[in-house]
Structure 1
Amino acid sequence: MKKLVIFLTCLCLSFNIYNVAPLAQPATNTIKEGIYNTSNLNLIQDKIYTVQNVSKDQNAHIILFNDHQEIIQYMKLLPNSEKQNLLPIKANYRIVIIGNADVFLA
């Protein structure tokens, strides 16, 4: 009986020793409706980023403004859209997202 208690105690302790992280990690590059400076998002200059609407039922409108406040790109993303390329990003650009969608930026 004593061996059984010791065995069960060791077994319970061994399960609690290893903390396993969940496999599904939340998307950290997901942004919502708003106005974003590319410098605040820590985006690399002259890199081509992709955007994707990861919402299941909401459209997203994305507008990219240059440093002279001129629209240089507009796109409408349907729910669960494919990845779309943005133009190369500069330091003073602004990204505007309209709609209650979650947009993944990579």
Structure 2
Amino acid sequence: MKKIISAIMICLSFNFNIAKAPQITSNVLTEGVYNVGDIINALGDVKFIQNISPNNTVFFSLLDDNRAAIESIIMKPGSGKFLLTELKPSYKLVILGDGEAFLSR
């Protein structure tokens, strides 16, 4: 019985371990999950994304309110600009990889 209670308590503690979203301080984003509302507040209207890393690939994904993928892009090192779909404040932006994504108007 003690093992079951211990297992339940451990599982509950994992559920309450909430990671904070990274802070937006510049147009350059590294790996992480970002709230589009925070990006819009910090940077204004964003229209384009590009990989500015000379050596690393970046995977970009835009998720809607229901966590469904709206847009996904694999950006090779030093890629050109990609036009984004309209960003809404409730969306999430996911960056994966060792590269850096640059957001612009």
Deviation of 1:74 (Å)? 0.4
CA contact (8 A) 1:51 1:103 kept: yes
Moved over 3 A (4+): none
Match of 2:85 among 84, 87, 90: 87
2:48 to 35, 47, 50: 50
Give the gaps of 5 or more residues in structure 2: 1-25
Distance across 1 between alignment mates of 2:34 and 2:103: 12
Alpha-carbon distance between aligned partners in 1 of 2:57 and 2:35, rounded to the nearest angstrom? 22
Tell me which protein shows more helix as a share of its residues.
Answer: 2
CA-CA distance at 1:68 after TM superposition: 1.3
| Deviation of the 1:48 alpha carbon | 5.7
Q: What percent of counterpart residues are identical? A: 31
When normalised by structure 1's length, the TM-score is: 0.68
- 1:102 Cα shift? 0.7
Give the match for residue 59 of structure 2. Answer: 61
Give 5+ residue unaligned stretches, structure 1. 1-27
Q: Secondary structure at the match of 1:76?
A: strand
How does 1:17-28 map onto structure 2 within 5 Å? 28=26
Q: Is the 8 A contact 1:56 1:79 kept in 2?
A: yes
The 5 A counterparts of 1:7-22 are none
* Distance across 1 between alignment mates of 2:76 and 2:59: 9
TM-score after normalising by structure 2: 0.69
The one-letter code matched in structure 2 to 1:37 is N
Letter in 2 for 1:67: D
Q: Distance in 2 between matches of 1:67 and 1:77?
A: 24
| In structure 1, C-alpha distance between the alignment counterparts of 2:103 and 2:90, rounded to whole Å | 17
Equivalent pairs, count: 77
Equivalent AA in structure 1 for residue 31 of structure 2: E
